[in-house]
Each structure stands twice: as structure tokens, then as C-alpha cells.
Amino acid sequence: MKVSFPHMGYSYLAFKWMVEHTGHECIVPPEPSKRTLDLGVRHSPEFACIPFKMLMGTYLEVAEMGAEMIITSGSNGPCRAGLYWVMHQYLLEELGQPVKIVALEPPLCDMRDFIGKLRLIRKTGGISTKQLIWVLQVTWEKVKAIDEIERHSHEIRPYEIGKGDTTRAFWQALEMIDAANSINEVRLAYREALKVLDAVPQDNSRNPLKVGIIGEIYVVLEPSANHYMQIMLGEMGVQTDRSIYLSGYTKKTTIYDLEGDLYTVAQPYLNEAPIGGHGANSIAETVLYSRHGYDGVVQLAPFSCIPEIVAKSILPTVSRDHDIPVLTLFIDEQTGKAGVQTRLEAFVDLMERRREVKQKQSTIARRLVI
């Protein structure tokens, strides 16, 4: 069968490998473009969130390319994401597209449904259970490696001497992971890939601003949905960190070291969790980034995103209490790259000024002590 899946950041490389090795033909989803968004907007409900529209556009594009099955994830709420696939299926049917959406609901909720759907994928591809398990393991290894490489690229980008070097090295690294065909090969490729990144000429005398990125998973993960914001910031000389990665494994994000339960951190501000999406996380992460000496936080969310609206109304208080500036960017189909860039530049200015003031204060304090 011709199988496709949603495009979410760079993970598509891992899923492409997965589909190909389950005996299916892979229709690789194109990176979401203006056209993807236009298509999605045209055929989605007006107030659907941007991720819904982007995925709708992506599904229509892969349907055009001949996809017969789309594998995606379900969820048990409480936000809309868990109903995406139902609506997408409805809308595709209305448009006369013969695509079937197979949504893997979290296995903890409904094991039978989960296994049934896996079997469907396996049977139609004609592979054994053992093979499927192996494929899933390698895929997981790839997802982890890709996440880790991406994380590292955001770390070194602000130090790069030649603008764009990191991004070039990053793509080279991704290709190395892409070429790997077993767990060991992935691990090996990963080690090599890190070396490629580290070989980017860097100026270590710089002391870049540090910014934490929080918000809704899709717009945080998919660079084309957030106008390549992390790269943009990196090239402005800002180091970025985010807690959301697809593998959820990259625990090396600075703020997660032994922080205990995120929801406990959010509790003084939001006495209920989860509230869907990453609403509660956004609040907790702002607190944590402040504790770890970050210069600021950018909250990224789709326009009309329910949990992030809740978070946004609470964040000013968090920002005040923990003395960390927060920039909220709500993204909709009208958001342009230039607009994002201007707001980011202003935010960077603000953070720089705050840093200077702080440094002055501490030198004065030191002098007083002497």
C-alpha cells in the first residue's frame, strides 16, 4: 500500500524508513509550504487550530501523490488533537479522497485497538511480527538520534563563525542517520554525526543569550510552522533550548535535570493538570527556565489554541514572580516571517538590555563588598 504520515519536524526521515521497511511504499509528506497551508485553510473549519489545517493540507497533498493510508496518532484528550483524525477522515470523505486514516490511540487506553491497528499495518505490508518489532526499534533509535542532533545544532549555532555553517552540517548529519539500517548503524552514524556538527568553526568567546522555547507541540516541532524560529534566533546569536522533542527522550534539555514533577512546579499557578496540549508544561517550564538562568522564554502557540490561551493568561504573573521576560507568539495563517523576525529582534534587544543592567548591578555590588 502507499502509506504516508504527518510531517513533524525532521522526524519524517525516521518514519520514511519505517514505512519502507514494513513492506509499504512510502509517500514522503512534503515539508509544509504556503500551498500546504492554503489547501488546509480552504478545507478546514475556520477556527480549527493551525496544526489541524497544516495536517489537512499535508493529507490532501499526499492524497494527490497517491497515498492510500495515513498513519497518525490519536490521543485521549482533553484537547482537540485527539479528534483531529476523526475530523480529517470526515473531511477527506467529503472531498471524495479515498484515503484511510489509521490513528494509533495510546496503547494504555485501549490495547486491543492499538494492536489491531498495528496488525493491519503489518498484514497489509506482509511482514512478520518479529520484523515489525525490529522495524519499530530501529525507528525509535532514529527518532532519538535525530532529536539529539537537532538539539545539539541549536546549542552550537550561536557560536558559528560562518553564518549557515551549522545548518549545513546539520543536514549532513541527518543524511548520515538516514542512511543507517540497523540499531548499531544508527548509533554509529549518530556518533559520527555529532563530530560533523562539532567540526563547525566556532567562536567560543561569545556569551550568547539563552532562550527557552515553550508552547504547543506542533508549532514548536515543525520549523516550517514557526518560520524556522530556532534557526532564526540561532543566527541572531541566541542559544535556544526546548523541552518538547518527539522522542520525549532528550532529557538533556537543561531544565529537566532532576526537576521532579512538572505539574508540581506549575501548581502554584495552575491547580489542575493536564489541561490538554502543553498548557501546564508551558507554565512549569517558564519557572524552570528562570531558575536555570535563562534570559527569556518564547511561548509559541497556534491562534485559538485552548490550553495555551489558559497558559498565556497565567504567564504574566509567572513572568513577574520569577523575573523572566516572556514573548508570546500566536501563529495563524496570516503570520508572516517578517512579523516574527521583527518581534524576535525586539525581544532580543530587550533581553540584552536586561543583561547589561544586571551585570552593572552585580559589578556595583561587588565593588561595594570590596
CB-based contact 241:213 (threshold 8 Å): yes
Nearer residue to other proteins within complex by CB, 234 or 307 = 307
Task: State which of residues 99, 217, 310, 326 lies at the interface with other proteins (CB under 8 A).
Answer: 310
Q: How far is the CB of 85 from ligand SF4 (least distance, A)?
A: 12
Q: How far is the CB of 61 from ligand SF4 (least distance, A)?
A: 20
End-to-end C-alpha distance for the chain, whole angstroms = 75
Rg of the Cα trace of the chain? 22
Contact between 309 and other proteins (CB under 8 A)? yes
Distances (CA, A) of 361 to 210, 220, 290, 337, 347: 20, 35, 18, 36, 21
Q: Which residue has the cell 497533498?
A: 61
Q: How far is the CB of 5 from ligand SF4 (least distance, A)?
A: 18
Q: Which residues bind ligand SF4 (CB under 6 A)?
A: 49, 51, 79-81, 216, 276-277, 302, 305-308
Q: How far is the CB of 225 from ligand SF4 (least distance, A)?
A: 10
Q: How far is the CB of 88 from ligand SF4 (least distance, A)?
A: 12
Binding window for other proteins (CB under 8 A); candidates: 22-30, 55-63, 194-202, 306-314: 306-314
**Residue 3 main-chain phi, psi, to 5 deg:** -120, 140
Conformational region of residue 125, where left means phi above 0, alpha means psi within -120 to 50, and beta covers everything else: alpha
Task: State which of residues 211, 233, 275, 329 lies at the interface with other proteins (CB under 8 A).
Answer: 275
Which residues, 40 to 69, sit near other proteins by CB under 8 A? 44-49, 52
The DSSP line for 298-335 is EEEEETT-HHHHHHHHHHHHHHHHHT--EEEEEE-TT-
User: By the criterion CB under 8 A, which residues form the site for other proteins?
Assistant: 44-49, 52, 74, 76-80, 82-83, 86-87, 89-91, 94, 105, 109-110, 269-272, 275-277, 279, 303-307, 309-314, 316-317, 330
